[in-house]
Amino acid sequence: MLADVLEMVDSWPAKRCAVGVTDDERTVAVRGRSDWRFDLASVTKLLTTMAVLLATEEGIVSLDEPAGPPGSTVRHLLAHTSGYSLTSAEPIAPPARRRIYSNVGIERAAALVEQRAGIPFAEYLSQGVLDPLAMTGTRLLGSPAYAGRSSVDDLLALGRELLAPRLLAPDTLACATTVQFPGLRGVLPGFGRQDPCDWGLGFELRGTKHPHWTATTGSPRTFGHFGQTGTFLWVDPEAGLATAFLSNLPFDDWARDRWPALSDAILTTPR
């Protein structure tokens, strides 16, 4: 039973954590207090991505309009190919040359939505994404790249949307979870250089990456994000499952083997 599998986290070094699994209709299993709120770190990027994608559907912004460094577009910003570094607004490479993980790029995409919508981005996110998905315990408290706070319950609600989109058009999500600018090399933070380093629009794609933080037995179509605060959300559309894990222990060596092992056990255990 999946409930038994999730007991694995009880022996992990995180003093406070929660984990849950959902299919496209309901929560399947939970361990820990699923209403506890944790800092998301870069899992925040998934929330921001949802809002930016919604803005493209509403005609507020376009994926292929100029944004960021010269030659860059909103698509480049979301796919970490604008040339921005992690934290500097000075580009360090031409667009679409390398996969350079960038908080600045995500922040610039959110700022464009804020400017066009005429309301703070956090408000646009709440009205367009969090409220419709009943993510009542989730807030953006600063940077759209890393300052979200949420609960496992709320991330599982997001997981269900990503398994069976109702808020976004299925074609929009399919585009966002397809490799953008294929073949680019890059560094996956915490897991080293990857060739290729596949990314969609805001969503990190499993692809052929090794090592990786998701299940070794998972589909290459698996997508999601993890955060340096010890958090993750992955969605495997072929398995029809999503898993959210939140903790108060920053990502480090303790997580590199434990996270994939848990995810493998989830995917290989009958529901």
DSSP string of the chain?
-HHHHGGGGGGSS-SSEEEEEE-SSSEEEEES-TT-EEEEETTHHHHHHHHHHHHHHTTSS-TTSB-SSTT-BHHHHHTT-SS--SS-SS-SS-TTSSB---HHHHHHHHHHHHHHHTS-HHHHHIIIIITTTT-TT-EE-S-TTTBEEEEHHHHHHHHHHHHS-SSS-HHHHHHHTS-SSTT--EEETTTEEESS--B-SS-EE-TT-SS-SS-TTS-TT-EEEEETTTEEEEEETTTTEEEEEEESS-SSHHHHHHHHHHHHHHHHS--
Radius of gyration of the CA atoms of the chain, in A: 17
Q: How many angstroms separate the Cα of 216 from the Cα of each of 132, 219, 258?
A: 33, 9, 12
Question: Alpha-carbon distance 111 to 47, whole Å?
Answer: 14
Question: Alpha-carbon distance 29 to 23, whole Å?
Answer: 10
Question: What's the pLDDT tens digit per position in 161-211?
Answer: 999 999 999 999 999 999 999 999 999 999 999 999 999 999 999 999 999
Place of tokens 């999730």: 6
For the cut 90, the answer to whether the pLDDT of residue 271 exceeds it is no
Confidence of residue 101 (pLDDT cuts 50, 70, 90): very high
Question: Alpha-carbon distance 247 to 36, whole Å?
Answer: 10
**Averaged pLDDT, 73-95:** 97
Question: Alpha-carbon distance 269 to 176, whole Å?
Answer: 29
Percent of the chain exceeding pLDDT 90 equals 99
Question: Alpha-carbon distance 215 to 119, whole Å?
Answer: 39
Question: What's the pLDDT tens digit per position in 202-246?
Answer: 999 999 999 999 999 999 999 999 999 999 999 999 999 999 999
- Computed over every residue of the chain, the mean pLDDT equals 98
Structural domains of the chain sorted by starting position, each given as residue range(s) with its CATH number in brackets: 2-268 (3.40.710.10)
pTM: 0.97
Question: Alpha-carbon distance 24 to 160, whole Å?
Answer: 5
For the cut 90, the answer to whether the pLDDT of residue 126 exceeds it is yes
Question: Alpha-carbon distance 132 to 262, whole Å?
Answer: 30
97 half-sphere exposure, CB direction, 13 A CA radius: 10
